Structure 1
Amino acid sequence: MPIPGTPSRAALVQHLIRTRIAGDVATPRDNNLAHYRGLANGERYFWLGLDLGDRWQDEQDVLAVMAERCGVNDDPEYRFGQDTIDPELTVDALDRMAARLRKAAESRQRVLLATGHPGGLLDVHRATAAALRGAGCEVMVIPEGLHTSEGMVFQFADVTVLERGATLWHTHSPDPMAAVLDGLEREGRPLPDLVVADHGWAGCAGQRGLDAVGYADCNDPALFLGEAEGTVQVTVPLDDHVLSPRHYDPMTAYLLGSAGLTGDDGDDPAPRD
């Protein structure tokens, strides 16, 4: 059944578990560990635009951070089967993100929103953009004509995305965000005060010294390490592509409610299942 209005913390936790946004998630343990190993081995694909240097060369150190900040199983001998995201950690991180959104709204800051996971998180970012604009923030418009080796960079429903072959594209690359920030500097325009994003979009922004908050799955450890090091301000642990994008609506409603924001045109960003 849908959750009416803005859910309580307890109701949201149960919803996250039921829809597998958190709790027993779909990402298998062996996939998680392979990504942790790749990051520790210096494979830049897994760094999501962050410069992790030689600080995370031990896969077990990466696992320890992921257990602490995401809630995966902390047993290094557990190598196959189901892995987990702690829904309490998800809501804790949403509360931290809400505090940063509230600050942006109170100061009417410039905000840039972007996603490398449009199939799952596009509407989460769109609703956040609408709420921030309604509170007086400037939702930044990116320069035209930007592109990377993967495709074109443009905005759709106020959210910056990668487009390829007339399709919104899933990407982990930091290059699209780098193209946006470089384009703003070329035009002599100010950079955003806050970036709300995921994947390499968030990592690149944080690495360049911008305030960055974002979402990350349990097989994408870099943003959690970035938060541990202070490069990324907030990383919300969740499965970033569940069965229906509508399952994220209660989470979005909780986030915006906790931030003291409302949805598009003053409407309640209430959930639909």
Structure 2
Amino acid sequence: MPIPSRAELIDHLVRTRIAGDVATPRENNLSHFRKLANGDRRYWFGLELDDRWTDEQDVLAVMAERCGVVDDPRHRTGQDTIDPALTVDALDRMATVLRKAVEDRQRVLFATGHPGGLLDVHRRIAAAVRAAGCEIMVIPPGLRADEGYVFQFCDVAMLERGATLWHTHSPEPMAAILDGLARDGRALPDLVVADHGWAGCAGQRGIDAMGFADCNDPALFIAEAEGTLAVTVPLDDHVVDPRYYDPLTAYVIDAAGLTAQP
């Protein structure tokens, strides 16, 4: 696929609603910001935020700065946004981290709680990183979490329940992987590329981590602001056609100096 320029990618993100005027409504965003501030750990994504983020307005300020949601606290209903320029800026930062991982021949673990949208994004980046000489970590067999199985497909760890790839923001599958590696006496990953609770758990445990996150998922943006995560990429994480993510994936692979694989 042709590599889009920055301007072409921004136009594509807005046209497909990966960024710009996204599908997630303002009411949902503010509800999630409030729940995080009120200490609901389901919205902490495995991070330990303690009492540092108890004001919903502080959460909104971070999300406006790092994701591009509307910064006016009086805007309570209707449309909300992701700034596509911030998405591309984050992809550039992600590319820098990936380039260093290749230079250092790091062990890299890929995982997703959004297999319906982001599986192929992770798969294609993993394939490019592997081809450049990194070790893509193989997770221990037989791991269980959240009443399901943690398994790996196309170099990407996911949660499976009832023969179905499961959408989950839980940190427990990543905790199962890291605990399983330690139990087997194996080295932990040098870098985790994931999303949501999978990325949050890795970052909280001191592993270099990057994650994709939607505008109603403030925890990873806070984690980047605090330095717990290296990069958080703002985007709608489940648009109507997962092929819409292909130009984004091609862009970050090329920016990292990698070669796309079949």
Structure 1 residues 202-230: Cα deviation after superposition (integer angstroms, max 9, x where no partner):
00000000000010000000000000000
Q: What are structure 1's unaligned runs of at least 5 residues?
A: 268-273
- Does 2:158 align with 1:161? yes
Q: Which residue does the alignment assign to 1:251?
A: 248
3-state secondary structure, aligned to 2:250:
helix
Q: Which residue does the alignment assign to 2:108?
A: 111
Pick one of 215, 219, 227 that aligns with 1:218: 215
Pick one of 203, 220, 237 that aligns with 1:240: 237
Pick one of 24, 39, 43 that aligns with 1:42: 39
- Does 2:125 align with 1:128? yes
Q: Percent identity at matched positions?
A: 76
Pick one of 57, 60, 73 that aligns with 2:57: 60
Q: What are structure 2's unaligned runs of at least 5 residues?
A: none
Alpha-carbon distance in structure 1 between the residues aligned to 2:77 and 2:146? 35
Q: How many residues align?
A: 262
Structure 1 residue ranges (4+ consecutive) displaced by more than 6 angstroms after TM superposition: none
| TM-score of the superposed pair, with normalisation by structure 1 | 0.95
Pick one of 66, 84, 88 that aligns with 1:87: 84
Alpha-carbon distance in structure 1 between the residues aligned to 2:147 and 2:173? 9
Alpha-carbon distance in structure 1 between the residues aligned to 2:260 and 2:183? 33
3-state secondary structure, aligned to 2:24:
strand
Shift of 1:150: 3.1
Alpha-carbon distance in structure 2 between the residues aligned to 1:13 and 1:178? 35
Alpha-carbon distance in structure 2 between the residues aligned to 1:262 and 1:140? 20
- Does 2:201 align with 1:204? yes
Q: Which residue does the alignment assign to 1:271?
A: none
Alpha-carbon distance in structure 1 between the residues aligned to 2:67 and 2:146? 32
Shift of 1:149: 2.5
Alpha-carbon distance in structure 2 between the residues aligned to 1:96 and 1:136? 20
- Does 2:149 align with 1:152? yes
Shift of 1:40: 0.1
Alpha-carbon distance in structure 1 between the residues aligned to 2:186 and 2:16? 41
Pick one of 9, 20, 27 that aligns with 1:12: 9
| TM-score of the superposed pair, with normalisation by structure 2 | 0.99
Amino acid at match of 1:230: G
3-state secondary structure, aligned to 1:256:
helix
Shift of 1:241: 0.2
- Does 2:172 align with 1:175? yes
Alpha-carbon distance in structure 1 between the residues aligned to 2:147 and 2:21? 33
Amino acid at match of 1:16: L
Cα pair 2:145 2:173 within 8 Å, conserved: yes
Alpha-carbon distance in structure 1 between the residues aligned to 2:104 and 2:206? 19
Alpha-carbon distance in structure 1 between the residues aligned to 2:67 and 2:196? 15
Alpha-carbon distance in structure 2 between the residues aligned to 1:7 and 1:26? 24
Shift of 1:148: 1.1
3-state secondary structure, aligned to 1:261:
coil
Alpha-carbon distance in structure 2 between the residues aligned to 1:56 and 1:260? 37
Cα pair 2:146 2:173 within 8 Å, conserved: no
Structure 1 residues 95-143: Cα deviation after superposition (integer angstroms, max 9, x where no partner):
0000000000111110000000000000000001100000000000000
3-state secondary structure, aligned to 2:80:
strand
